[in-house]
Amino acid sequence: MMRLFYLCLVFASVIGVLLIQGAQGAHSEAAPPQGAASCGCDKLRRDGAQQHAEEGSDSAAPAHKYSEGANGRPQGQMVLIAGGPFWMGTDDPGIPPDGEGPRRLVHVDSFYMDTQEVTNQQFQSFVNATGYITEAEKFGDSFVFEGILSAGVKNQITQAVAAAPWWLPVKGANWRCPNGPDSDITDIPDHPVLHVSWADAGAYCSWANGRLPTEAEWEYACRGGLEDRLYPWGNKLNPKGQHYANLWQGDFPNHNSAEDGYMKTSPVRSFPANAFGLYDMVGNAWEWTADWWAVHHTTERQRNPTGPPSGTDKVKKGGSYMCHKSYCYRYRCAARSQNTPDSAASNLGFRCVAEGKT
């Protein structure tokens, strides 16, 4: 415990500032009014993000490297998701510029899926076994929601992202220190791992004999067999007054009433599973998918679609504990958002899938 905490504090000596290049770039046009993109951290771009994207071979490397010697999955549980056709997307989009529509018929083959978001403890097992170093650790910083930073850390940061001022670039924030350098994961082993880039997530899944889900697989799984419903459990956000996901209640970003019991992330499986036995498909942490981002989709019937062949951003699904309807109505199965693959933040995690029976 002491050692882990020490590791976090080593980085705390200097709280730095990231220059956010291109924060007003291509995303702005796609973003809905009143900063609706905000809690999705899609305004966040690393300095030189473009350069990174072009070094494609770099980010692909870890997956291969760590797939060797993979020896079964730690702790986690997968369920078989029986394949079939489903209606992907919606003709009644909550956030039209996100490309939630049109509603289109898609078939996915059977696959196994983690019932839960990958946890800190699971990621620790991976790192213990492989010595993997995440991109945020290499960069030396990551984005943390200001509402979960300590005053000490917050006071030393002078620059935020203009379009989303509640995101602060924090030196020393990474999966081991998710709320900033004076935090650590010792007390939250069963919370979703955060501050993992797309390549980090892929490396973990590969090590665990899996891969990231396609957006179609993820959405099929989210819907849990229900047709034309907003959420994994139906159309009412809080059936019988119960909370079914870790979201934001109150006035974002200033007041989080935590009516659902959690100000930040919750332990995985804290809310009811959907009909497929999957927990936290919406809320808690956003989840990376394998697909590149695009907002125009064919209406032709598709089988196992994998998204566009290339792009600059990856699709993430499900929303997070920071999502409130007023700013980020993205805790719906059809909703989607995007980040550059090298992004990392205090509300972004993942789960893995594996090939199903053939």
Ligand X SMILES: *[C@@H]1O[C@H](CO)[C@@H](O)[C@H](O)[C@H]1NC(C)=O
Nearer to Ca ion, 11 or 252 (CB): 252
**Residue 185 and residue 192 in contact, taking contact as beta carbons nearer than 8 Å:** no
Q: Which residue is nearest to ligand X (CB)?
A: 128
Say whether 276 sits in a helix, a strand or coil: coil
User: Cβ atoms within 10 A of the Cβ of 301, count?
Assistant: 10
Nearer to ligand X, 21 or 128 (CB): 128
**CB of 228: closest distance to ligand X in angstroms?**
41
Nearer to ligand X, 10 or 60 (CB): 10
Interface pick for ligand X out of 67, 121, 312, 326 (rule CB under 6 A): 121
Residue with structure tokens 């899944």? 205
Interface pick for ligand X out of 24, 50, 67, 124 (rule CB under 6 A): 124
Calpha distance 173→183 (Å, rounded)? 9
What pairs with residue 88 in β-bridges? 104
Token pair of 17, please?
């500032």
The contact set with Ca ion (CB under 5 A) reads 246, 260, 262, 280, 284-285, 318, 321
Calpha distance 168→23 (Å, rounded)? 13
Site string for ligand X, 21-40 (x = CB under 6 A): --------------------
Cis peptide preceding 253, ω within 30 of 0: yes
**CB of 122: closest distance to ligand X in angstroms?**
8
**Residue 276 and residue 221 in contact, taking contact as beta carbons nearer than 8 Å:** yes
Which of these ranges, 62-70, 122-130, 179-187, 241-249, lies near ligand X under the rule CB under 6 A? 122-130
User: Cβ atoms within 10 A of the Cβ of 131, count?
Assistant: 8
Nearer to Ca ion, 114 or 313 (CB): 114
**CB of 112: closest distance to Ca ion in angstroms?**
18
**Residue 271 and residue 334 in contact, taking contact as beta carbons nearer than 8 Å:** no
**CB of 216: closest distance to ligand X in angstroms?**
32
The DSSP result for 186-215, as a single string, is TT-TTSBP-S--HHHHHHHHHHTT-BPPPH
Nearer to ligand X, 33 or 131 (CB): 131
**CB of 29: closest distance to Ca ion in angstroms?**
27
Nearer to Ca ion, 199 or 348 (CB): 348
**CB of 264: closest distance to Ca ion in angstroms?**
8
CB-side exposure of 259: number of CA atoms within 13 Å? 12
Token pair of 229, please?
């419903």
Nearer to Ca ion, 117 or 313 (CB): 117
Token pair of 285, please?
């942490």
**CB of 1: closest distance to Ca ion in angstroms?**
27
What pairs with residue 302 in β-bridges? 106
Nearer to ligand X, 125 or 343 (CB): 125
Query: How far, in Å, are 8, 15, 33, 126 from residue 140 at the CA level?
Result: 11, 10, 32, 20
Residue 242 in contact with ligand X, rule: CB under 6 A: no
Residue 130 in contact with ligand X, rule: CB under 6 A: no
**# of chain residues touching ligand X (CB under 6 A):** 4
Interface pick for ligand X out of 38, 90, 125, 274 (rule CB under 6 A): 125
| Residue 124, binding choice from Ca ion, ligand X, none, Cβ under 5 to 8 Å by partner class | ligand X
Residue with structure tokens 């200033």? 254
Residue 343 in contact with ligand X, rule: CB under 6 A: no
| Residue 115, binding choice from ligand X, Ca ion, none, Cβ under 5 to 8 Å by partner class | none
Cis peptide preceding 33, ω within 30 of 0: no
Chain residues binding ligand X by CB under 6 A are 121, 124-125, 128
